[in-house]
Chain A
Amino acid sequence: MLDFVVRPFASAGRGTVRILGSVGRAWILFAGTAGALRHPGIWGPQLVPQLARIGVASVPIALFIATFTGIVMSLQASYTLTGTIPLYFVGALVGKTMMLELGPVLTGLTLAGRVGANISAELGTMRVTEQVDALETLAYDPLAYLVVPRVIAGIVMFPIVVLLAMTVGIVSGWLTALQLLDMSSPEFVKGLRLLFEPWDVWFAVIKSVSFGAIVTGVGCFYGLQTERGAEGVGRSATQTVVIASMIILCLDAFWAATLL
């Protein structure tokens, strides 16, 4: 009877301790990473390879998704905008949604899978095979060598990939409007310019910088905490994708509430 009463409290207590523990470890990682910026001699040579792996290698998948998002947006806009609403609003809708929401968020979620899981699995494997310990014994700070270049690469490359994805999405929407909706280019561009604000681009850049930091940071966090072999590596990769995706959606709402 007593056990029945105590168990939910004990469970809630363990959950709270676990969450607080994770928050504490994340804070330690953040502080340590900020401190490790003082060692450019360690992270500097790793930066260019990470820019290529995190950014350049992500371009194809980001553009693939953006292309089809642009096509679908264009078709759905024309389907929705019937009656009194002029068809050139298709351009306005495609441009606005690609810049404000779909470009950054869809790319962010995609890269949470591609980049986040990759970082987590790589660092997790290094952790369980003692390569991270080996780095330390060779007088390398693992945060400077492994975390700093990845997070910087995420912060630098996510906005670039997102801007490319936004552009390709809008262009694919435009081509769809020309080919399938009997719209002319001037009509589409008229709609595109109608609601365009330069701030929309900055909004997308700010969002994607934060997504880049989160995806790479969460990947490093779970990767470096990996335990218990291959199963642990798989669990870390899954946790990274889930948690990074959730934080991206929360941040998306946060930026919309604070910046728009």
Chain B
Amino acid sequence: MSIRIVELHKAFGPKEVLRGFSLEVRVGATVAIVGPSGSGKSVLLKHLVGLMRPDMGSVLVDGESVPDLGRQDLARFRRRVGYVFQFAALFDSMTIAENVGMGLKRLPGWSADRIDHRVQECLSLVDLEGMGERYPSQLSGGQKKRAGLARAIAASPKYLLYDEPTTGLDPVTTSVIDELILRMRDELGVTGLVVTHDMTSAFRVADRITLLHEGKARFTGTPAEVRAARDDVLRGFVEGDPGLYYGLQGRGDHGP
């Protein structure tokens, strides 16, 4: 297993966001974690790169316990992980090329020429050739997401974490991003974790899908298993049926 999350708990004041979430992700797979907005998907993702510390439970990546890493070990660990932020989180005072090259400057032995070459390579991979000198404010939403992806893959990470990669995008741009996620898996061989509430996108990019419900993994399976599942909460979410989804939630029915 490359990523192993065991009984993860996280609360913000009285609000328990994660209540014993567990998940295992195999090397080279892409897993989508789905759930409604505010269900704790982004919180979960932030635990994987040490941006948040769990109240309880463990987060293991390649056998290393992420919450227990010291500052320097954490910095070294993060070079293996690319993080694509929900709103791209590009540095708005820098050009796109500077954004993409930002992580590479921290790598030992990388000359300016080598960084520049790699930046152009990454921009080309996400179809943003010739956009390197633009500023984030000059890009569309889809282009920003692609630039964020280029930055995340620049250091050739082993893992890619996508936080709502298609939120707010039109269907065509959503397909383009989905294709890029698949290319990252197929061409670069990265292990991916995609957090989304877009089921169309999840079915398209994921090898396995997990429904995060009430702080726990309610259902995990392949896209075919998700489609065939009888679980009413899962069906309610997949079909966008609030009656099914919230009706059972209200009665506390947590059947598989």
Contacts and interface: CB of A to CB of B under 8 A. Distances in A.
Contact of B89 (A134, A139, A141): A134
Interface in B5-53: 46, 49-51
B203 interface: no
A137 B85 CA distance: 10
B46 to A, nearest CB: 7
Contacts of A131: 89-92
Interface in A118-163: 126, 129-131, 133-134, 136-141
A136 B90 CA distance: 13
Interface in A229-257: none
Contacts of B86: 130
Interface in B154-200: none
Nearest to A133: B51
A53 B81 CA distance: 34
A129 B78 CA distance: 20
A134 B83 CA distance: 8
B4 interface: no
Interface in B63-81: 71, 75-76, 78-79, 81
A130 B87 contact: yes
Interface residues of B, number: 24
Interface string B73-111: 001101101110111011110000000001100100000
B85 A133 contact: yes
A130 B90 CA distance: 9
A137 B51 contact: yes
B102 A138 contact: yes
B71 A139 contact: no
A136 B46 CA distance: 11
A133 B78 CA distance: 12
Interface string B99-133: 00011001000000000000000000000000000
A48 B92 CA distance: 19
A131 B106 CA distance: 17
Sorting the interface of chain A by its residue count into under 10, 10 to 19, 20 to 34 or 35 or more gives: 10 to 19
Contacts of B90: 131, 134
Contacts of A139: 75-76, 78-79, 103, 106
A129 B102 contact: no
Contacts of B82: 137
B103 A136 contact: no
A129 B87 contact: yes
Contacts of B89: 129-131, 133-134
Contacts of B92: 129, 131
A137 B52 CA distance: 12
| Interface core residue of A133, A139, A140 (most chain B CB under 10 Å) | A139
B215 to A, nearest CB: 22
B86 to A, nearest CB: 7
B75 A141 contact: yes
A123 to B, nearest CB: 12
Contacts of B51: 133, 136-137
Contacts of B152: 137
A133 B106 contact: no
Nearest to B86: A130
A126 B89 CA distance: 8
Contacts of A140: 102, 106
7 contacts: A131-B90, A133-B51, A133-B83, A136-B78, A137-B152, A139-B106, A140-B106
The 4 A-B residue pairs with the shortest CB-CB distance, nearest first, are A138-B103, A130-B89, A134-B89, A137-B83
